Amino acid sequence: MSQQDATRSRAALGATIDLRRQPDATLRSTPETVLWGYLAANLPPALTIKSGETVEIEALSHQGLTTSKNPEEFFAGYGISSSEVLADAKTVYAEVKRPKGASVHVLTGPIYVEGAEPGDTLEVRVLDIKFRVPYGVNNTGPGKGVLPALLKEPAAKLIRIDFERRVALFSSDIEIPLNPFMGIMAVTPPKSLGMVSSTPPGAWGGNMDLKFLGIGSTLYLPVFNQGAQFFTGDGHAVQGDGEVDGGAIEISLKPTLQFIVHKGKPLKLPRAETATDYFTTGLSVDLNEATRIAVQEAVDFLHAEKRLSAADAYALTSLAVDLGIGEAVDVVNLVYARIPKNIFRSNPEFWFKA
């Protein structure tokens, strides 16, 4: 997708957004509007919207839903009263079944965006993210993360949130600044793939766990099916690059997202943008291959969007672009290339002001 084309599209929709306005629609998490642990194309829409519209989406964490205990029993073990457990968590646990082979994530959707077709790009702007509960869980143990042999017993840690000070209370002397984001934002994969587990990310997005996709960010996803068919879930209060123990502070969130269709602007892989940076991604079960793909995507971006030669794009990537491991624990690794905007003397206006 050309940056000039994206700029024209934004101008048509309005270069700035009033973040105080009410969303065009609200999508709640109910047994009829969630999938548990998988993605699949062409399911009945949970909601249909027009390009440019905004949606507030209830997203539900899977923590407390994937054990032999029900959510009230699970959280009671950490001093959380029944009244503090979300009603939709109780309902989904009781009424929604995970298919065989599905993963753990509860995903809200699909949202069909009118006019989106295979070969288009779906732009997803993160306008706002609200917390639904004042606590989250980091759940690790044997076989999890990049050190699967480290622990011999399960280790689920409940972490409370101080909203006034915007920190997660890890311990009496450790506080982590909050950075809420959705671990999963996805369009549906090609229908030829059938049911796809929500664990590994892919060209459709999914479980990318990219911590830069917080408030004021934009995600660009290639469209594979009519309407794009968007899902989100796996809310995180904060997470380091790599999600190395297999989890973040997993928490139920309520994002407000704006959806914009860019016609005939295909992408190979997800890209992202913030007020300060561009991001390209590389995805592979092999970390070296994921790195190579992320670099190639960065070179391609600089060639197409900044009109650099292949040699200059490669050189600039080596001199000014940082690589990071966004996701290292979900079968498919995600490596990102972070391209700082401040190295360019001019840049198109971005919708969010940092």
Residue after which a domain boundary falls, among 266, 287, 321: 266
Q: Average the pLDDT over 304-317 and give the result.
A: 97
Identify whether the C-beta of residue 167 lies closer than 8 Å to the C-beta of residue 177: yes
How many structural domains are present in the chain?
A: 2
Q: Has residue 7 been placed in a domain?
A: yes
Residue 158 belongs to some domain of the structure: no
Per-residue pLDDT of 281-295, as tens digits, reads 999 999 999 999 999
pTM of this structure: 0.93
86 & 193 share domain: yes
What band does 11 get if pLDDT is binned at 50, 70 and 90?
very low
**Residues 37 and 119 occupy one common structural domain:** yes
Q: Are residues 328 and 241 in the same domain?
A: no
Whole-number Å distance between alpha carbons of 99 and 43 = 15
Indicate if the pLDDT at residue 314 is higher than 50: yes
181 Cβ neighbours under 8 A, 6+ residues apart: 126, 129, 210, 211, 212, 213, 214, 217, 235, 236, 239
**Residue 259 sits in the same domain as residue 301:** no
- On whether residue 10 sits in a domain, the answer given is yes
Query: In terms of domains, do 129 and 35 share one?
Result: yes
What CATH number is attached to the domain comprising 330?
3.10.28.20
Is 148 part of a structural domain of the chain? no
Domain stops at, among 266, 299, 323:
266
Question: Do 226 and 280 belong to one domain?
Answer: no
Q: Is 319 in the same domain as 194?
A: no
| pLDDT tens track for 233-283 | 999 999 999 999 999 999 999 999 999 999 999 999 999 999 999 999 999
Average pLDDT rounded to a whole number, residues 151-169:
97
Out of 219, 243, 266, a domain closes at: 266
**14 and 95 inside one domain:** yes
Average pLDDT value over all residues in the chain: 94
Residue 233 belongs to domain spanning:
3-135+182-266
Q: For residue 176, is it within any domain?
A: no
Give residues with Cβ within 8 angstroms of 319, minimum separation 6. none
- Tell me the pLDDT tens digit for each residue of 92-146: 999 999 999 899 999 999 999 999 999 999 999 999 999 999 999 999 999 999 9
Confirm whether 351 is domain-assigned.
no
Say whether both 303 and 238 belong to one domain. Answer: no
Which one is predicted more confidently, 17 or 303? 303
Rg of the chain on CA atoms, in Å: 20
For residue 61, the domain's CATH number is: 2.60.120.580
Separation between Cα atoms, residue 334 and residue 207, nearest integer Å: 10
Residue pair 75/138 in contact (Cβ under 8 Å)? The answer is no
Task: Let me know whether 188 and 335 are in one domain.
Answer: no
Same domain as 261, residue 293? no
- More confident: 80 or 353: 80
- Tell me if 141 is assigned to some domain: no
Same domain, 219 and 93: yes
